[in-house]
Amino acid sequence: MRRMRLLGIGLVGVGLIGLMGMGTSSQVRAEEQKAIGHEGVEEPTRALMDAMSKRMTNMLEGILAGNLKYVSQEAGTVVDQSYTINKTFFPLDPKDNKWFKKAKIDPSDKENITKLKESFDTYQKGIATSALEIQKAAKANNQDETFKSFVSMVQKTCFECHKENRDKQVPIENR
């Protein structure tokens, strides 16, 4: 029974790794058969998303390997990294914001920027809260709950934030 449950977790995990890899630097151009990065995505946005993606992959691999101590450490790092989100996307001087330019956001539209910042605050808090739930389950040495918390985080924070903020704001040719 335990073997079947772990096999099921492993299969779902492999699927999640594949889904996570769709938006990361591991994309491949079919005609060229070589890896491409976040072309057109400006630093430090690319660096932040790549770092978060790496930590998420590390957590999933740790869960599947049963190394919950490692998962707990990585979840703590995700909490720390989550606090850089608003600093990255909303620097003090909006006129120098490359993300605004790519997303065609008028830096003088304070009302829109405030609304976007509030949205990002919500997702940032969701990331921190979810990562703490992952860490709590991992510290309790509960692999099933750790995995469930991980999946919930990906669905409720990562995917939702990208759907709301990346997919609606940034034209596909600029991602």
CB 91 within 8 A of CB 54: no
- Looking up tokens 């790092």 gives 77
Domain layout of the chain by residue ranges: 38-174
Q: Tell me which of 1.10.1380.10, 1.10.1040.10, 3.30.200.20, 1.20.120.10 is the CATH number of domain 38-174.
A: 1.20.120.10
pTM (2 d.p.): 0.67
Residue 27: DSSP 8-state = E
Distances (CA, A) of 157 to 39, 82, 118, 124, 151: 23, 11, 14, 8, 10
Three-class SS state of 99: helix
Mean pLDDT per 10-residue section of the chain, whose length is 175 residues: 57 53 41 42 67 93 96 94 82 75 80 85 91 97 97 90 71 57
